[in-house]
């Protein structure tokens, strides 16, 4: 469909986040294929994009549903008609959130994470029999939330006794986010899910769902255990890609669909300062990251300092001349999920400079 | 004014940002007093709060106007009736932004930063004679944007020749944001402004405005130069305070007006995990910061890991028992400006638990 007049990204004031529709389409196709090849249900984490427009494309490509982190995010996607949602979080179901969870359970097919007996009791009291399934969260090595695999059976039995329907186990192998850690984390993830599932089975609970996955590990296929292999994968970031995935060797620049478009406001020998700062890119910087973001057109460049509306870029020897003030450059955020959460909409471009759509970030700020 | 029924913060689902109205009022009074005692115009940076409600209180306490970083922020406050604005940024006045700047100049008393000849030419072309003043940005040691003090006179003369009205100089001593650096940065700031102002005078341009200031340096009063002492201070963060100011010894916990209210969702020996992550607190973490945030009620605790909806807190020996799941705790973000920019509104509380107002974060996301 041709618009008249055609809008080009040069017509938009910087900074803004641009999504290359072609790269996104390729990421969606490949994400669905990867899950299919491994025999896994594909339930992408919508925290990354927070866009109904992207969720619809994921579902059209075969996603079985969405993963969310908060009740607020789930409410946004439920209102848009997505009817199969997993809250991969040990939700504390008190106060207004208890009522909101119960309403959600009456509206969509809902799964909810549990990682403590107190949380399970609270959730059972909140749901009051409303139809929802529970997955027990397992710590596979990230040491954030979740129980040890050996404790899953006991917690599952307790949750069932509290009146909850326990459908299986899940984990997030977040310790894959370190150089060289992907393969080990992928193996840990599968071993933890398998051990926890065996624990549920020993407690007389069929662990139908064994859900794992992260963008750094989804490309890896360690040998699967015979009986309790994963059934589901929940990658988030890989729909867009970001500088962290590039630096972890989990994606190339060519698989990064989203960049911040910025203007050079200051230049000096070897350096430029851009108008996209931490309020556009997000301030995430892992200890192993080489800087605060990457420039796909200048692979040797690094964002060496970031403030709210300034990104200081040091250019490498192979990067050619420093762009002059007024030039536009594209920056890959370190962590795309937090960058998207700063924007009201994403500018969709097709094959370069032409703006083909604007997608609202529907669940931006939906933290509760 | 009593509301019926009285809303309490326990009625609100976490996480959210709460402002203690009493602490804010004290910070406003003290901020105005500090500037007055030093004989400085007080032009607080509204990037910190982005709230018209807070700006009105600053003006009522004697602020001469506001400082902003982006044209988008300035548009929000101009629309709310604030009529004296300084864009402390080397704005690149091209495309739609040129038209927006010209419209703004026709509507409010406007000052704009310039740090390059190209930027000055572009700005002059954008304004087309619309009434605005220009301040030359000086690098006083932060090495972000700005020119060396010795280059200010030449740049000012060029800007004037391009048709701009040059009213003086400004700097941001951002290198104060490091342990033990505050006093040196405050001295650098004053020396740089003085030298740059002398350069303007030598070029035949009266440097009426010498604008500096940052929250870490505003409490300090180095010996002022005789002739070209600062005339204006632009603190941002100190209206609310944050963990960075505490760790730089620029403010105590008792001067921190804004905290994130979070729920414990997971507890284990020595540790709790909260539902306020980087999408609530922001991910800013300076190399010298002791963690990702502080807990005013648990001074020994540190936020040792942060993901989007999880803050992992390690409690110290003197912090008492780890709060149980379901407990609420308050967290000071490391950098309040980026935390506020994540929220749609701030919950205003008075003397503890009673909610007395909700202030929209009017300029949230106004990055262009």
Q: How confident is the model at residue A353 (pLDDT cuts 50, 70, 90)?
A: confident
Per-residue pLDDT for A317 more than 90? no
**What is the spatial distance between Cα B349 and Cα A151, in angstroms, rounded to a whole number?**
41
Residue A289 within any structural domain of the chain: yes
Q: What would the two tokens of residue A112 be?
A: 């909810």
Q: Which residue has the tokens 């662990």?
A: A207
Picking from A207, A239, A271, the residue at the C-terminal end of a domain is A239
Cis peptide before A15 (omega within 30 of 0): yes
Nearest C-alpha in B relative to A48: B308
* Reported confidence tier of residue B353, pLDDT bands at 50, 70, 90: confident
Task: State the total domains in chain B.
Answer: 2
Residue A18 within a domain: no
Structure confidence by residue, pLDDT tens digits, B39-52: 999 999 999 999 99
Instruction: Tell which residue, A9, A234, A25, has the closest CA to residue A135.
Output: A234
Confidence of residue B209 (pLDDT cuts 50, 70, 90): very high
Determine the Cα–Cα distance for residues B200 and B106; give it in Å rounded to an integer.
27
Q: How confident is the model at residue B4 (pLDDT cuts 50, 70, 90)?
A: low
pLDDT band at A1 (very low <50, low <70, confident <90, very high): very low
In angstroms, the CA A105 to CA A60 distance is 23
pLDDT tens digits along A221-236: 667 777 999 999 999 9
Domain containing A71 — which CATH number? 3.20.20.10
Asked whether residue B222 carries a pLDDT value surpassing 80, the answer given is no
Q: How far apart are CA B153 and CA B236, in angstroms?
A: 28
Q: How confident is the model at residue A316 (pLDDT cuts 50, 70, 90)?
A: confident
Bridge partners of B68, per DSSP, are: B87
Q: Are residues A301 and A199 in the same domain?
A: no
> Residue A183 and residue A180: Cα distance in Å, rounded?
7
Tokens of B102: 């010209």
Does any domain span residue A256? yes
What is the structure's pLDDT at B128?
95
CB neighbour list of residue A37: distance below 8 Å, 6 or more residues apart: none
Is A315 in contact with A269 (CB distance < 8 Å)? no
C-alpha to C-alpha distance for B250 and B317, rounded to whole angstroms:
25
Residues B257 and B319 in one domain: yes
Rounded to 10 degrees, what is the CA torsion of A218, A219, A220, A224? 60
Question: Which of B12, B118, B326 is the closest to A92 by Cβ?
Answer: B326
Q: How far is B339 from chain A (nearest CA, A)?
A: 10
Residue A332 · residue A295 · CB < 8 Å:
yes
Number of H helices, E strands in chain A: 10, 17
- Report CA dihedral (A266, A271, A274, A276) to the nearest 10 degrees: -150
Pairs of CB atoms within 8 A across A/B = 150
Place of tokens 């004031």: A13
Average pLDDT, chain B: 95
Residue B38 domain-assigned (yes or no): yes
pLDDT tens, residue by residue, B227-286: 999 999 999 999 999 999 999 999 999 999 999 999 999 999 999 999 999 999 999 999
Asked whether residue A179 falls in the same domain as residue A95, the answer is yes
Do B36 and B167 reside in the same domain of the chain? Answer: yes
Nearest CA of chain A to the CA of B115: how many Å?
Answer: 8
Strands B109-114 vs A345-350: parallel, antiparallel or unpaired: unpaired
pLDDT tens-place string over residues B102-127: 999 999 999 999 999 999 999 999 99
Residue A218 CA to residue A183 CA, distance in Å, equals 10
Q: Which pLDDT belongs to residue B193?
A: 97
Percent of chain B with pLDDT over 90: 92
Residues of B in contact with A267 (CB under 8 A): 116
SS (HEC) of B153-200: HHHHHHHHHCCCEEEEEEECCHHHCCCCCHHHHHHHHHHHHHHHHHHH
Domain membership flag for residue A10: no
**Token code pair at residue B175:** 């290198």
Q: Are A98 and A132 in contact (CB under 8 A)?
A: no
**The predicted structure's pLDDT at residue A320:** 87
**Looking at residues B52-67, what average pLDDT do you find?**
98
Parallel/antiparallel/unpaired status of strands A133-138 and A109-114: parallel
Q: Is the peptide bond before A5 cis (omega within 30 degrees of 0)?
A: yes
At B1, the pLDDT band (50, 70, 90 cuts) reads very low
* B136 and B223 part of one domain: yes
A354, burial (CB in 10 Å: exposed 0-12, middle 13-18, buried 19+) = middle
- Residue where a domain terminates, one of B238, B265, B294: B238
Cβ distance A116 to B16 less than 8 Å, yes or no, reads no
Q: What is the CATH number of the domain that holds A320?
A: 2.40.37.20
Q: Domain span at residue B67?
A: 24-238
* Among A248, A325, A316, A360, CA closest to A14: A325
Return mean pLDDT, chain A.
95
Task: Provide CB contacts within 8 A for B30, sequence distance 6+.
Answer: none
Q: How far does A263 lie from chain B, in Å, by closest CA?
A: 8
Same domain, A124 and A196: yes
The span from the CA of B173 to the CA of B184, in Å, is 10
SS3 at position B110:
strand
Residue B125, burial from CB neighbour count under 10 angstroms (0-12, 13-18, 19+) = middle
Summarised one tens digit per residue, pLDDT across range A3-28 is: 456 899 999 999 999 999 999 999 99
- On the CB side of A201, how many CA atoms lie within 13 Å of its CA? 12
Does residue A347 belong to any structural domain of this protein?
A: yes
* DSSP 8-class letter at B48: T
Best probe of the A interface among B7, B9, B47, B279, by most A CBs < 10 A, is B279
pLDDT in tens, B295-341: 999 999 999 999 999 999 999 888 889 999 999 999 999 999 999 99
Task: Provide the 3-class DSSP secondary structure of residue B254.
Answer: helix
DSSP output for B257-323? -EEEEEEEEEEETTEEEES--HHHH-----TT-SSSEEBTTBTT-EEEEEETTEEEEE--GGG-SPP
Do B325 and B205 sit in the same domain of this protein? no
Which one of B175, B207, B238 terminates a domain?
A: B238
Given the DSSP bridges, would you call strands A109-114 and A16-20 parallel, antiparallel or unpaired?
unpaired
DSSP H or E stretch at residue A18: strand A16-20
Using the beta-carbon criterion (under 8 Å), do B279 and A14 form an inter-chain contact? Answer: no
pLDDT at B24: 98
Residues of B in contact with A322 (CB under 8 A): none
A174 DSSP 8-state letter: G
pLDDT in tens, A228-286: 999 999 999 999 999 999 999 999 999 999 999 999 999 999 999 999 999 999 999 99
Over 70: is that where the pLDDT of A350 sits? yes
Residue B6: inside a domain: no
pLDDT band at A65 (very low <50, low <70, confident <90, very high): very high
Shared-domain flag, residues A207 and A278: no
Q: Span A148-158, mean pLDDT?
A: 98
Q: Are residues B220 and B248 in the same domain?
A: no
Mean pLDDT of B155-174: 98
Tell me the shortest Cα–Cα distance from A272 to chain B, in angstroms: 9
Same domain? For B90 and B221 the reply is yes
Tell me, yes or no, whether B367 lies in a domain: no
pLDDT digits (tens, 9 = 90+) for A29-50: 999 999 999 999 999 999 999 9
Considering the domain architecture, whether residues B159 and B259 belong to the same structural domain is answered as no
Per-residue pLDDT band for B225 (boundaries 50, 70, 90) equals confident
Contact assessment for residue A271 and residue A313, using Cβ atoms and an 8 Å cutoff: yes
Residues B274 and B181 reside in one and the same domain = no
Name the closest residue on chain B to residue A91, using Cα atoms.
B265
Pairing of strands B310-314, B302-307: antiparallel
Cβ-nearest to A266 among B94, B116, B365: B116
């Amino acid at each position: 469909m041709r618009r008249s007049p055609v809008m080009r990204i040069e017509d938009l004031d910087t900074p803004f986040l641009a999504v290359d529709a072609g790269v996104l389409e390729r990421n969606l196709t490949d994400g669905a294929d990867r899950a299919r090849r491994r025999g896994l249900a594909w339930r992408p984490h919508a925290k990354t994009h927070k866009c109904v427009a992207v969720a619809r494309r994921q579902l059209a490509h075969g996603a079985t549903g969405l993963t969310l982190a908060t009740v607020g995010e789930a409410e946004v996607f439920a209102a848009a008609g997505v009817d199969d949602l997993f809250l991969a979080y040990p939700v504390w179901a008190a106060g207004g959130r208890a009522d909101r969870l119960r309403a959600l359970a009456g509206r969509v097919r809902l799964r909810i994470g549990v990682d403590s007996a107190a949380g399970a009791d609270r959730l059972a009291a909140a749901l009051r029999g409303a139809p929802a399934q529970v997955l027990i969260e397992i710590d596979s090595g990230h040491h954030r939330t979740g129980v040890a695999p050996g404790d899953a059976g006991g917690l599952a039995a307790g949750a069932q006794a509290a009146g909850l329907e326990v459908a299986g186990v899940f984990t997030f192998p977040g310790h894959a986010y370190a150089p060289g850690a992907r393969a080990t984390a992928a193996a840990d993830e599968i071993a933890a899910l398998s051990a926890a599932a065996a624990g549920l089975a020993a407690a007389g609970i069929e662990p139908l769902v064994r859900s794992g996955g992260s963008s750094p590990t989804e490309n890896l296929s360690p040998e699967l255990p015979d009986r309790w292999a994963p059934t589901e994968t929940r990658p988030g970031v890989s729909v867009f890609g970001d500088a962290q995935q590039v630096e972890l060797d989990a994606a190339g620049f060519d698989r990064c669909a989203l960049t911040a478009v910025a203007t050079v406001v200051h230049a000096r020998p070897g350096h430029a300062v851009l108008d996209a700062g931490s309020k556009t890119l997000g301030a995430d910087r892992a200890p192993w990251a080489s800087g605060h973001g990457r420039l796909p057109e200048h692979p040797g460049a690094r964002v060496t300092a970031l403030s709210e509306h300034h990104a200081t870029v040091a250019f490498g020897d192979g990067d050619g001349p420093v762009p002059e003030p007024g030039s536009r450059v594209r920056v890959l955020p370190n962590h795309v999920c937090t960058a998207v959460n700063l924007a009201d909409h994403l500018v969709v471009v097709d094959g370069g400079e032409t703006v083909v759509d604007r997608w609202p970030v529907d669940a931006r700020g939906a933290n509760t």
